Amino acid sequence: MPAPVRTSRSLWCIAPARYDIRADVLAEPEADMLTVRTLASCVSRGSERLVLHGQVPASEFQNMRAPFQRGEFPFPVHYGYQSVGLVEAGPSALIGRTVFALFPHQDVYRIPASAAVMVPDDIPAERAALAANMETALNAMWDAGAGPGDRITVVGGGVVGLMLTALAAGLPGAEVTLVDVRPERARFAAAFGARFAVPAEIGSEADIVFHTSATADGLQTALNAGGFEAKIVELSWYGKAATTVALGGPFHSRRLRLIGSQVGAVSPERRPRWPHARRLAKAVSLLSDARFDALITHRVAFSQAPALLPHLIDDEPDALAILLTYD
């Protein structure tokens, strides 16, 4: 007897600052595939803002593709990569398990079992939806080569910046400072065991500086914070925007090193031993810390996403992780 037809609803960027929900019939499952009913998906605010406004450069259309993306940049496109759901069908050992997948915003979907990462029982589904952000932070730590005792400055207190703050503060003896233009982010720094400063308060003695604000001012602040021969690790993705910074003076006299960090590739020292499945599973496991729950500041019902998400992404400066919730 043929399997019953399953339908799904998916969130598409259809024009600048416009979303729409589309209904689809799910393809028939192939061997070793899972049917996943979504519990929560997280909006990766920086990347998805660029997608929402058609700001992905043509040269990066292929590199910027999400693993299960449909459509083509700039529009219409079904985009996203942080989804957690319950396995409803597939290999018997996996039915009923909670999994993370690099899947766009959709209420039910089918993926190969190899594309699912098991979520440990002690990690709530909503927190697990932050796993791709954690993978980005973990990879940046590897790119930096940060170690015990380092003076580490994180410029930009968004989701990834705060995850970096937490990881860096966990290094024995590390002196970690979170820098942000919003003084209210000090409470997050304190929760993760770090100092806090606004840009005007920082010195120039850091061994390692991470920049995550995606602004030219933030990058200049990061460059100013580095000590002699410090590493400046740039995580921001600017899309089509031009970025102007002053590379005279301290940049040369301090022999600063500017390192681009992007989660699509792993630092050379770890690349041979850390395939994507291993590092994504590690990112999920690092979310066992309940302090990361505070990074979820907004929840939006999936059906209300077209109406509410553009405002939250563009006009809500205090928003950190924005979760879509599903019935």
The answer to the question of residue 319 being in a domain is yes
Shared domain for 201 and 292, answered yes or no, is no
- Long-range pairs for 218-223 at CB < 8 Å and ≥24 separation? 218/155, 218/156, 219/155, 219/243, 219/245, 220/245, 220/246, 221/155, 221/179, 222/153, 222/155, 223/247, 223/250, 223/251, 223/256, 223/258
pTM: 0.96
Q: What is the CATH number of the domain that holds 28?
A: 3.90.180.10
Shared domain for 110 and 185, answered yes or no, is no
Shared domain for 12 and 116, answered yes or no, is yes
pLDDT, position 2: 53
Helix or strand holding residue 166 (H, E): helix 159-169
* Residue 325 backbone class (left: φ over 0; alpha: ψ -120 to 50; beta: rest): beta
* Cβ-contact 138, 167 below 8 angstroms: yes
pLDDT, position 3: 57
Closest by CA position to 221, among listed 250, 195, 241, 192: 250
The answer to the question of residue 94 being in a domain is yes
pLDDT, position 264: 84
Check pLDDT > 90 for residue 68: yes
Helices 159-169, 131-144: crossing angle, 10 deg rounding? 50
Closest by CA position to 144, among listed 219, 231, 64, 35: 231
Shared domain for 108 and 221, answered yes or no, is no
> Strand, helix or coil at 228?
strand
* Cβ-contact 40, 84 below 8 angstroms: yes
- Render the burial of 110-142: b for 16+ CB within 10 Å, e for the rest: bbeeebbbebeeebbbbbbbbbbbbbbbbbbbb
The structural domain count of the chain equals: 2
pLDDT, position 187: 98
The answer to the question of residue 275 being in a domain is no
Looking at 260, 278, 305, which one is the last position of a domain?
Answer: 260
pLDDT, position 249: 79
Shared domain for 223 and 124, answered yes or no, is no
Give dist(CA 33, CA 51) in Å, integer: 29
The answer to the question of residue 62 being in a domain is yes
Average pLDDT, the chain: 96
Question: What residue type is assigned to position 316 of the chain?
Answer: E
> Strand, helix or coil at 204?
coil
Instruction: State mean pLDDT over 261-272.
Output: 90
With a CB cutoff of 8 Å and minimum separation 6, the contacts of 6 are 25, 26, 35, 108
Looking at 223, 241, 260, which one is the last position of a domain?
Answer: 260
For 161, the domain range is 136-260
* Cβ-contact 254, 203 below 8 angstroms: no
Instruction: List pLDDT tens digits, range 232-245.
Output: 999 999 999 988 88
Helices 305-315, 45-52: crossing angle, 10 deg rounding? 110
* Cβ-contact 106, 92 below 8 angstroms: no
Looking at 260, 295, 316, which one is the last position of a domain?
Answer: 260
> Which of 1-15, 102-116, 183-197 has the lowest average pLDDT?
1-15
> Which of 18-27, 90-99, 259-268 has the lowest average pLDDT?
259-268
Shared domain for 25 and 87, answered yes or no, is yes
The answer to the question of residue 235 being in a domain is yes
> Which of 36-40, 68-72, 238-242, 322-326 has the lowest average pLDDT?
238-242
Evaluated on CA atoms 161, 266, 230, 147, the torsion sign reads positive
pLDDT, position 267: 87
Percentage, residues of the chain above pLDDT 70? 99
Check pLDDT > 80 for residue 1: no
Q: What angle do CA 188, 53, 14 make, to 5 degrees?
A: 120
The answer to the question of residue 279 being in a domain is no
Q: What angle do CA 285, 45, 171 make, to 5 degrees?
A: 40
> Which of 66-80, 165-179, 247-261 has the lowest average pLDDT?
247-261
Shared domain for 123 and 167, answered yes or no, is no
Shared domain for 94 and 197, answered yes or no, is no
| HSE of 32, CA atoms in CB hemisphere, 13 A | 5
pLDDT, position 4: 65
Instruction: List pLDDT tens digits, range 102-139.
Output: 999 999 999 999 999 999 999 999 999 999 999 999 99
Structure tokens at 308: 């509410």
The answer to the question of residue 162 being in a domain is yes
Q: What is the CATH number of the domain that holds 192?
A: 3.40.50.720
DSSP symbols for 22-52? EEEEPPPP-TTEEEEEEEEEEE-HHHHHHHH
Check pLDDT > 60 for residue 86: yes
The answer to the question of residue 273 being in a domain is no
Shared domain for 242 and 304, answered yes or no, is no
Shared domain for 115 and 154, answered yes or no, is no
Shared domain for 256 and 313, answered yes or no, is no
Shared domain for 245 and 143, answered yes or no, is yes
